[in-house]
Amino acid sequence: MYILFDIGGSTTRVAASRDCHELQGEPIVFDSTSNLEADTKRIADAARTLVGSHSITAAAGGIAGVLDSERRTLLRSPNKTSWVGKPLAEHLEKGLGAPVLLENDTDVAGLGEAHAGAGQGYEIVAYLSVSTGIGGGRIVGGMIDAARSGFEPGHQIINPYCRVCPDCVVRSAESDSCVDLEGLASGTALGKRTGKKPYEVTDRAEWHQIACWLAIGLNNTIVHWSPDAIVLGGSMMCGTKGRVVSLDEINRHLREILTIFPRVPDMHLAQLGDFGGLYGAMAVLRQDM
């Protein structure tokens, strides 16, 4: 049996598969914490529940943040800061009794969409998750594209004004640094501006502005990655609690600002919901067999 996991900032998901093509039974979902030892133990406990008397051959999954070159340790993480520098893969392998493959969580979700979701049939897929933060990955030929330090399209600078320029007029509300896409269009950024959860915001001007910022960010992503298709996931795009960013509005803005290429790549909403990372983990394991 194979174990699949997705370690999120607020939620962790664990599933099993016999053949790395289909999930076996229902995934186990629990709240994440900041405690590495406690969370990796809960993943191991969930895995043992899922496999029963069967042994675990290998495991794979994603976590938010930048991993070292060997994909064993977190170097940076927006929501697991206390895990940085600690032997994450080693903790997981000890608990599971099997080798573990780690990848960035958004890369794995994008891989899942490319194999089993909205990105099927495309050679080059750009996946962006617009949620609490903004992450993304590039999938080429059904595999996560090579990168020295991963992909972080959410950290592209959208606002060019910063503290190093003598005539800066706009800065981040939280610091003197340049404002990136995540700092403008994520759920966290929307919450700071409005004091509300994204699904509580009814101001059409806010949603219009987010669509504009996302279109600018996607324009930059398109001219750098040149994808066949873009898949947009995350709660801000595919939320179930209320208003989501309009894909049509993003497309309209993109058609206006993307001038160097003859057409906008195909745009799709993600299809796999909260389990995209688990399907991506199956693909990671298949590719390692």
CA neighbor of 106 nearest in space, from 20, 247, 234, 213: 234
Mean pLDDT of 75-87: 90
In a domain, 16, yes or no: yes
In a domain, 173, yes or no: yes
- The answer on 282 and 249 residing in a single domain is no
Tell me: the pLDDT tens digits for 141-162? 999 999 888 898 998 988 655 4
Amino acid at 18: R
CA neighbor of 258 nearest in space, from 223, 229, 213: 223
Mean pLDDT of 127-137: 93
Q: Rounded to an integer, what distance in angstroms lies between the CA atom of residue 215 and that of residue 232?
A: 12
* pTM greater than the 0.85 cutoff: yes
- The answer on 207 and 162 residing in a single domain is yes
Mean pLDDT of 208-235: 95
Expressed as residue numbers, the domain containing 174 is 118-271
- The answer on 262 and 164 residing in a single domain is yes
Q: How many domains does the chain have?
A: 2
CA neighbor of 233 nearest in space, from 156, 102, 126: 126
Residue scoring higher pLDDT (168 or 10): 10
Give the CATH number for residue 68.
3.30.420.40
Mean pLDDT of 44-73: 95
| For residue 53, pLDDT beyond 90 | yes
| For residue 178, pLDDT beyond 80 | no
- The answer on 253 and 122 residing in a single domain is yes
- The answer on 279 and 261 residing in a single domain is no
Structure confidence at residue 164 as a pLDDT band (50, 70, 90): very low
- The answer on 89 and 144 residing in a single domain is no
